[in-house]
Structure 1
Amino acid sequence: MRTPFIAGNWKMNKSPDAAVAFVREIAPLLDAIDGIDSAVCPPYLAIPAVAAAVAGTKVGVGAQNMYFETSGAYTGEISPTMLQGLCRYVILGHSERRALFGETDEGVNKKILAALAHNLTPIVCVGESLTQNEAGETQSFVSGQVRAAFAGLSDWQAAVCVVAYEPIWAIGTGRSASAQQAGDIIRTSVRDVLTDLFGSDTAQAIRIQYGGSVTEGNIADYMSQPDIDGALVGGASLKPTFVDLVRSAVI
């Protein structure tokens, strides 16, 4: 039985002070919700303070990205050793990173391996563009991303990971894949591919989230799908109603 998992990706929002004030408001409420894991992923500068604010609760903390090297002349980057001990999760391969900063499948794979080597849990993002979706290329593209991301991982390493399927055309647009569409894509392009790579037992242990204009009003529909185990939430995680979203995800 996979425990549902809702993670909030705050992106480039909230100063450290604002982040702490917000998480102090929502953490006790999230902590009181049983049967589900929740986490927030603030900007780097807020991670230490947010982690301190949620200490003693069930609320997890994650980073939004990291580099795969542990140190060196990589101006502006954050290493896994810097995150280790500060947070549990790290979002890797988000479509905004791929589109705006040129991240590749190979680079994402290196980041996943580096995160695992430093006891960080990767939230691995995959998803197709609107053009690919309309051309009927979703399954081949997403399955290719999954295979590239998990290349070289052992069964136990794969089982630790979380996968977030986020159709690019649904991120921050107000549009979203229907629950049935998302469930079908996750089953055929993610879960079945993981089964092919690692076997049924490992594939069934991996939690898979949906992301893309998820709200407290539609999360229950997604959670009704057997292969959807939670959500990676963007804009809706910046509001107090994020608590309602997490509560509504418990079925």
Structure 2
Amino acid sequence: MAAGNWKMNTTPSEGQALAEGIITAAGPPATKVVFGVPAIQLMQIKEITAKHEGYYVAAQNMHHEDKGAYTGELSAAMLADAGIDYVILGHSERRDYFGEDDHLINTKINKALAAGILPIYCCGEKLDIREAGSHEMIVGKQIEQALFSLAPEQMEQVVIAYEPVWAIGTGVTASPQQAQDMHQFIRTQIANQFGQSVADGTTILYGGSVKPANAEELFSMPDVDGGLVGGASLSAENFVPIIKAL
């Protein structure tokens, strides 16, 4: 899977041109391609991807309540009714800027699954954690708190994105072996809780300064199933080679 997280970038007209340009340049993809777009563009980009097999749309967040006085928020039911395929949950920016923790994210994951939306669950460690050698402990705790309460059939619907926070938007990338080691650790955690077949079927993406220059090497690792791509997803010139590296 190649998932692009546009974050708070592109106007609706720019987003339309970007999605259409990527689809035209990439053609029918060999993997799933997901556009994680600003809320104002969700239905617009869904109309585009609905015409092209292999292309999907993700919301960048959703609220954990079904409805109510939550100005500016979107519920799982709203996203489902609009035909949105995926929702990105637990991104490090949501954790840092909005104080979201894995207990809240677990609630969101359950709401998304109940509505028929597939969660892309983000986990990862900051630089001080990595330097202290505590990265497996921290990521393991994130996985446990957010996912271990799910039933196996629910877990089969979840995509995991490992994002070393120290490599997001910094130009620094985890080495292919560092990515593989953490992805293997995550898959082992899933296997221990849900069984090997569920773990083998779980898509685990790498997110952290994925670029055309490093995509092929990263994706060649046995437990790296694709990428959650930030800045490089904002141009066809950069995102299409990443799609084709899978």
Q: Do both proteins adopt the same fold according to a TM-score greater than 0.5, normalized to the shorter chain?
A: yes
User: Residue in 2 aligned with 1:99?
Assistant: 96
Q: Percent identity?
A: 42
> Which of 232, 238, 242 in structure 2 is aligned with 1:236?
232
> Which of 183, 186, 190 in structure 2 is aligned with 1:186?
183
Distance apart, 1:30 and its partner CA: 3.2
Whether 2:87 is the aligned partner of 1:90: answer yes
Runs of 4+ in 1 over 6 A off after TM superposition: none
User: Residue in 1 aligned with 2:42?
Assistant: 47
Given that residues 215 and 236 in structure 1 are in contact (C-alpha distance below 8 angstroms), is that contact kept between their aligned partners in structure 2? yes
Given that residues 176 and 221 in structure 2 are in contact (C-alpha distance below 8 angstroms), is that contact kept between their aligned partners in structure 1? yes
Matching residue's letter, 1:11: K
Matching residue's letter, 1:90: V
Matching residue's letter, 1:46: Q
User: Residue in 2 aligned with 1:147?
Assistant: 144
Given that residues 25 and 236 in structure 2 are in contact (C-alpha distance below 8 angstroms), is that contact kept between their aligned partners in structure 1? no
Distance apart, 1:25 and its partner CA: 1.4
Distance apart, 1:129 and its partner CA: 0.3
Farther-moved stretch of structure 1 (16-25 vs 175-184): 16-25
> d(CA) in 2 for partners of 1:103 and 1:158?
21
> d(CA) in 2 for partners of 1:179 and 1:96?
23
User: Residue in 1 aligned with 2:163?
Assistant: 166
> d(CA) in 1 for partners of 2:197 and 2:50?
33
User: Residue in 2 aligned with 1:60?
Assistant: 56
Farther-moved stretch of structure 1 (51-60 vs 116-125): 51-60
> d(CA) in 2 for partners of 1:155 and 1:38?
25
Distance apart, 1:21 and its partner CA: 1.5
Unaligned runs of 5+ in 1: none
> d(CA) in 2 for partners of 1:10 and 1:206?
24
1:201-220 correspondence runs (5 A): 201-220=197-216
Matching residue's letter, 1:115: A
> d(CA) in 1 for partners of 2:118 and 2:25?
24
1:8-157 correspondence runs (5 A): 8-33=4-29, 35-57=30-52, 58-84=54-80, 85-157=82-154
Matching residue's letter, 1:73: A
> d(CA) in 2 for partners of 1:53 and 1:195?
37
Question: TM-score w.r.t. structure 2 length?
Answer: 0.96
Unaligned runs of 5+ in 2: none
CA RMSD of superposed structures (Å): 1.0
Given that residues 41 and 62 in structure 1 are in contact (C-alpha distance below 8 angstroms), is that contact kept between their aligned partners in structure 2? yes
Distance apart, 1:31 and its partner CA: 3.6
> d(CA) in 2 for partners of 1:68 and 1:81?
11
Matching residue's letter, 2:23: A
Given that residues 216 and 246 in structure 1 are in contact (C-alpha distance below 8 angstroms), is that contact kept between their aligned partners in structure 2? no
Question: TM-score w.r.t. structure 1 length?
Answer: 0.94
